[in-house]
Structure formats: structure tokens, C-alpha cells
């Protein structure tokens, strides 16, 4: 039988693969394609371990991998393919903002951005989070769908436009965050606009709140998808929330004098200093990005 559960992790320098070994396998053949379903080319044969590192890559390119197993009886069929980008797509970058205790990371498989982030988020004068971003020129809109669920009930995640990578930078964010309740493991999940008009001042929250309910919330857990959209028109920023990506609800409008070339992207934080959480978002789109 073919190998199972191919796992790929990518950087701009290499892509690491691992898989579950089938019983009786002696060696493996690693194959790669530039589109889903192939055609595949063999990039390594007679691999004896269930791991392989591909260093013949182009930063920002998307690759599709499969693996077959062999023994004295012959070669198996191909495993179910997996996809990964060598680092992030062109012009995208990632960085831990502020004094985080656990390093974050970000990957993209052609559909889903997978972010790992720690830190306390945006509730003070000094931010702590993982940021995946690209430059924006002038006005623009970013849209993304949060894919449930985060690893921490203290997590915050959302969309951001930010002047710089400094921890106290002016910014506007549309965030999903856990509102306080009497039960620490069953927060009141909400969406709200946050902003910092000047460097190193406290983050302000808009008065408008979108309270998340069914189908996104089950027993205090963020178990359903949530769509977010953050729009900039000059110095006016508007947030939108949706459960299905079709029907949108305005989730606040604020004025903030950000510069004309901010950074735009995704912000995530575990809400815990010493532990990171995993976050996944798909359907990410940006208009007017450089």
C-alpha cells in the first residue's frame, strides 16, 4: 500500500516531508509537481527513511508532493498528495511582533494560511502577536475566513493594517476575541474593531460589537467558520463580519490617520505568554496590495 499522511513544512530555503510508513516497505520514491494531480517528476528515489528534505526549490513557489513505497514485490501507487509553498507567497512575510516567549511561524499550502502565534495580543501599549503581512498602497480591502478552531480559549485572531513592525505602531484591526464570562473556558466570542492612533498609546476598542453565536459557537467553543473583512477608504476604516461570506454585517467604523503605505495582513495571538496556538485561515484576498 502507499505511504499515508504526508506532512509538509516549508521555508524559503527548503521543504521538509514526512509520512507514515506502510508495513513491508523497503524504500520510497518522492515525486513533485507544479500543479495538483501532476504530472509528477521523481526528485528522489531509494529513500530509506520516512522523511525527505527538498532543497531544489524556488522561494514563494507552490509545490505538490506525493510518495510511493517499494519492496521486492514492486512499487505501490502514489500517496494522496500534499501541497506547500516554499516560504510564503510572493511579497508576503511573517514576524513575531513584540516580546513573545514562543517563536511563531506561518506556512501556506495553496489554500490555507497556517499560523502559530503566542503573546497577549493588542490590549496594551505594547503588542505581542504573530503577523503575516504584505505592503499596501493607499486604500484597500482584506478578506479572510477563519477556519475553526484555535488551540486556546484565550486566543485572538483577525485582520490588521499597521504602519510599522514596531510593537507600539499605530494600527487598525478587526479581531475575534474572547469576551469575559463567569466561565473561563466558555468565553463570549466577539468581533470588534481595535485601533491605536499614535505610537505607544493604549489600544482603543470601538463601541460596536458583533457577538458570535450559532453556527460559529458551540458551548463556548469557536467551532464554526467566521468571515472577516477590513476596508480602508482614506482614514476611514470599516469592519464587516459574516458566517457564510455572502451576507455581511457592518461591525464598526472608525477614523485613524495611518500613513499611505501600511502593512496589511493577519494577526494571531494565543493570549498566553508561555504557550503558542495554531490558527488557520483560507479565502484570503487583498485588493490594492503591492
Please report, in tens digits, the pLDDT of each residue of the chain (290 residues total). Answer: 999 999 999 999 999 999 999 999 999 999 999 999 999 999 999 999 999 999 999 999 999 999 999 999 999 999 999 999 999 999 999 999 999 999 999 999 999 999 999 999 997 899 999 999 999 999 999 999 999 988 889 999 999 999 999 999 999 999 999 988 888 778 999 999 999 999 999 999 888 999 999 999 998 899 999 999 999 999 999 999 999 999 999 999 999 999 999 999 999 999 999 999 999 999 999 998 65
Who's near 247: CB < 8 A, 6+ residues apart? none
pLDDT for the residue numbered 146: 96
Q: How far apart are CA 265 and CA 154, in angstroms?
A: 21
Q: How far apart are CA 249 and CA 211, in angstroms?
A: 11
**C-alpha cell read off for 151:** 488551540
Q: Which of left, alpha, beta for 124 (phi over 0: left; psi -120 to 50: alpha)? A: beta
Q: How many C-alpha atoms does 120 have within 13 Å on its Cβ side? A: 10
pLDDT for the residue numbered 140: 96
Residue written as cell 510593537?
167
Q: Are 67 and 49 in contact (CB under 8 A)?
A: no
State the distance between the two ends of the chain, measured CA to CA, in whole angstroms: 46
pLDDT for the residue numbered 207: 86
Q: How far apart are CA 166 and CA 87, in angstroms?
A: 23
pLDDT for the residue numbered 151: 84
DSSP class of residue 269 equals E
CA-based nearest residue to 284, from 110, 144, 189: 144
pTM for this predicted structure: 0.90
pLDDT for the residue numbered 180: 86
CA 65 to chain centre: 21
Amino acid at each position: 500500500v502507499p505511504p499515508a499522511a504526508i506532512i509538509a513544512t516549508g521555508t524559503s530555503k527548503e521543504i521538509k516531508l514526512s509520512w507514515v510508513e506502510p508495513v513491508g516497505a523497503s524504500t520510497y520514491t518522492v515525486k513533485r509537481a507544479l500543479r495538483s494531480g501532476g504530472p509528477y517528476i521523481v526528485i528522489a528515489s531509494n529513500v530509506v527513511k520516512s522523511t525527505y528534505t527538498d532543497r531544489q526549490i524556488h522561494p514563494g513557489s507552490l509545490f505538490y508532493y506525493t510518495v510511493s513505497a517499494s519492496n521486492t514485490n514492486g512499487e505501490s501507487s502514489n500517496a494522496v498528495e500534499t501541497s506547500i509553498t516554499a516560504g510564503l507567497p510572493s511579497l508576503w512575510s511573517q514576524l513575531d511582533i513584540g516580546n513573545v516567549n514562543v517563536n511563531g511561524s506561518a506556512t501556506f499550502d495553496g489554500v490555507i494560511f497556517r499560523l502559530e502565534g503566542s503573546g497577549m495580543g493588542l490590549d496594551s501599549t505594547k503588542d505581542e502577536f504573530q503577523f503575516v503581512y504584505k505592503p499596501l498602497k493607499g486604500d484597500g480591502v482584506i478578506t479572510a475566513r477563519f477556519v475553526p478552531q484555535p488551540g486556546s480559549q484565550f486566543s485572538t485572531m483577525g485582520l490588521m493594517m499597521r504602519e510599522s513592525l514596531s510593537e507600539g505602531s499605530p494600527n487598525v484591526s478587526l479581531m475575534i476575541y474572547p469576551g469575559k464570562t463567569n466561565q473561563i473556558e466558555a468565553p463570549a466570542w466577539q468581533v470588534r474593531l481595535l485601533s491605536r492612533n499614535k505610537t505607544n498609546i493604549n489600544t482603543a476598542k470601538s463601541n460596536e460589537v458583533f457577538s458570535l453565536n450559532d453556527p460559529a459557537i458551540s458551548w463556548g467553543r469557536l467551532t464554526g467558520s467566521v468571515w472577516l473583512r477590513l476596508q480602508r477608504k482614506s482614514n476611514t476604516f470599516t469592519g464587516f463580519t459574516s458566517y457564510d461570506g455572502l451576507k455581511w454585517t457592518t461591525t464598526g467604523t472608525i477614523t485613524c490617520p495611518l500613513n499611505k503605505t501600511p502593512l496589511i495582513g493577519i494577526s494571531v495571538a494565543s493570549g498566553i505568554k508561555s504557550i503558542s496556538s495554531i490558527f488557520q485561515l483560507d479565502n484570503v484576498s487583498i485588493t490594492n496590495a503591492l
